Amino acid sequence: MSRFSRIAALLAASLVSTSAIAAPTDFAITNATVVLGDGSAPIPEGTVVVRSGKVVAAGANVSVPAGVSVIDGSGKWVSPGMVVAVTDLGLLDVGAVENSNDSGARKSPFSAALDVSAAIDPEAMPIRVSRTGGVTRTAVAPSAESSIFAGQGAYVDLAASGNTIDRPRAFQYVELGERGGRLAGGSRVSAQAILRNALREARDFARRAGPTGARRGTATVGSVQPASPEAGRIAESDVARGTDVQLTRADAAALVPVVNGTQPLFVHVERMADLRQTLALSHEFPALRLVIVGAAEGWRVADEIAAAHVPVIASGITDLPGAFETMAATQSNIGRMVRAGVRVAIGNMFDNDQPRYARQYAGNLVALTRLPGATGLTWGQAFAAISSVPAEIMGEGAHFGSLLPGHAADVVVWDGDPLELGSGAERVFIDGVEQPLDNHQTRLRTRYRHPQEGALPKAYEW
């Protein structure tokens, strides 16, 4: 009894000390291999200095200012935390437990207006497991279930602070490939018609509302958050709409910032023909800020994607024709697109394809550089594809995703090369605040170090 209560007390104390949310600490990590995340090669014997939650300096020949605590990074690697777009982190506890899963709404009367920020749980275990795995930021996307429009995604950090949502209603997500066709009633033809009609309705809605012609405000429509102050204004307005509209008022309002270019449109397509159709949307709706998700056949039109300056969030190592739309899939896809000048992030990770695996995919793309006929990424490019590039695609490149001065101090200390399979995260900082890395898994690991029961059942070991 006394032994166990003592252990429990010690454990409880250590938990409190690690999970208490402190203010950002000023610190420096020295003698480590430093990864800036901006595409450059790792820097041996480097230093990272963090103050007030921001990176002050990182690299070689960086001096440690007086008054900051120093962490000896000998033998360690230090990098920005992984940034993975797009994911379902925080929207579910267990994917297959339907009641815990808010990633999609098959029977919702709303579509584009759906706002995932209303459902993100910063304490969801997948967030904690991902943080332990070195992921610090993500773009959370809803899953399209009732319409080609999944709704509005959010930018989220994985800090244990509880203030997880960095930017709600950050983007709109739409399905235009095979899945989009099924959601649209049976064909891509219908998906394209629905998309174009929806954007026209949004444009018309905004035009009728006029710059000042409606009530001001950012009030919500029911429980549905407006996409922007402007969308909220017109959703709340009494502006008349045409009699043959397809969209609900809330959905039309939510698409206003998409059609006027203040909110990016993430489009999931895979095959070459769909990629071209997607790029062509800009002719009719020139303000669209397109981001392509998927793009398994992107390498076949890499020059066109690059010329359109449309960035891509691709799956890491898709190389099978899992569907007809991914017929030409190859692991060299990302390397070939990057070589053509496309900005490509590794992401698009949902369900059991968990964001913590992103660094393994990045490592695999480095491996391709040694495979005859394949096109991979340099080490620096590969790490950038899971840090600064997704941050740039999210429009947050000036805020996080690298260890350049002024960026958020999202810093991970690894026990080795972070793209290597055997390496793991030892310490994780978000905005300069050290994060707890314990979770359900780490506690089970400790309890079951030896499977046999001791003097008391396993249930007393905690």
Partner 1 sequence: MQLISKLTGTAIAALGLMLATQAGAAKSKGNDKPAAINENPYPSTYHPYAGEPTAIVGATVFDGAGARIDNGTVLVSGGKIERIGDASLAIPAGYRKIDAGGKFVTPGIIDIHSHLGVYPSPAVEANSDGNEATSPTTPDVWAEHSVWPQDPGFSRAMANGGITSLNILPGSANLMGGRSVMLKNVPGRTVQSMKFPGAPYSLKMACGENPKRVYGSKGREPSTRMGNMAVDRATWIKASEYRRKRDAGKQETRDLGMETLAGVLDGKILIQNHCYRADEMAQVLDMAKEFGYKVSAFHHAVESYKIGDLLKASDTCAAIWADWWGFKMEAYDGIPENAALVYDAGACVIIHSDDEYGIQRLNQEAAKAQGSGRRMGIVIPDEQVIRWITLNPAHALGIEAQTGSLSPGKMGDVVLWNGNPLSVYARPEKVWVDGALLYDANDPKRRPVSDFELGQPGEGDVK
Interface residue list for partner 1 (CB under 8 A): 94-97, 125-126, 129, 272, 297, 300, 317, 319-324, 327-332, 351-352, 354, 360, 363-364, 366-368, 370-374, 415, 419-424, 440-441, 444-445, 448-452
Q: Which is nearer to partner 1, 313 or 366 (CB)?
A: 366
Q: How far is the CB of 436 from partner 1 (least distance, A)?
A: 17
Could you tell me the end-to-end alpha-carbon distance of the chain, in angstroms, rounded to an integer?
13
Instruction: Say how many residues make up the chain.
Output: 462
Taking the complex as a whole, how short is the minimal distance between the CB of residue 291 and partner 1, in angstroms? 24
Tell me the closest approach of the beta carbon of residue 424 to partner 1, in angstroms.
5
Contact yes or no for 425/158 (Cβ under 8 A): no
In terms of CB distance, is 98 or 244 closer to partner 1? Answer: 98
Q: How many helices (H) and strands (E) does the chain have?
A: 13, 16
Rounded least distance, CB 343 to partner 1, Å: 23
Scan for tokens 């009633």, then name that residue. 185
Q: Based on CB atoms, which residue is closest to partner 1, 41 or 219?
A: 41
Burial of 83 (0-12, 13-18, 19+ CB in 10 A): buried
CB of 361 to partner 1, least distance (A): 9
User: Toward partner 1, which CB reaches closer, 59 or 424?
Assistant: 424
- Record the tokens describing residue 208, joined without a space: 């009728």
Q: Of 286 and 373, which has the nearer Cβ to partner 1? A: 373
Q: How many other CB atoms are there within 10 angstroms of residue 130's CB atom?
A: 26
DSSP 8-state assignment for residue 220: -
List the beta bridge partners of residue 71. Answer: 29
Calculate ∠ Cα 207-212-214, nearest 5°.
80
Q: Which amino acid is present at 414? A: W
3-class secondary-structure state, position 121: coil
Question: 226 to each of 87, 203, 221, 375, 392, how far by Cα in Å?
Answer: 22, 16, 7, 43, 24
Strand partners, 151: 173
Q: How far is the CB of 25 from partner 1 (least distance, A)?
A: 24
Compute the distance between CA of residue 234 and CA of residue 378 in angstroms, rounded to an integer: 48
Give least dist CB 14 to partner 1, A: 17
Instruction: Give me the least distance between CB of 330 and partner 1, in Å please.
Output: 5
The smaller minimum CB distance to partner 1, of residues 26 and 426, is found at 426
List 319's β-bridge partners, or say none.
Answer: none
- Structure tokens, 190: 């219908």
* Cβ-based nearer residue to partner 1, 87 or 111: 87
Residue whose CB is less far from partner 1, 297 or 410 = 297
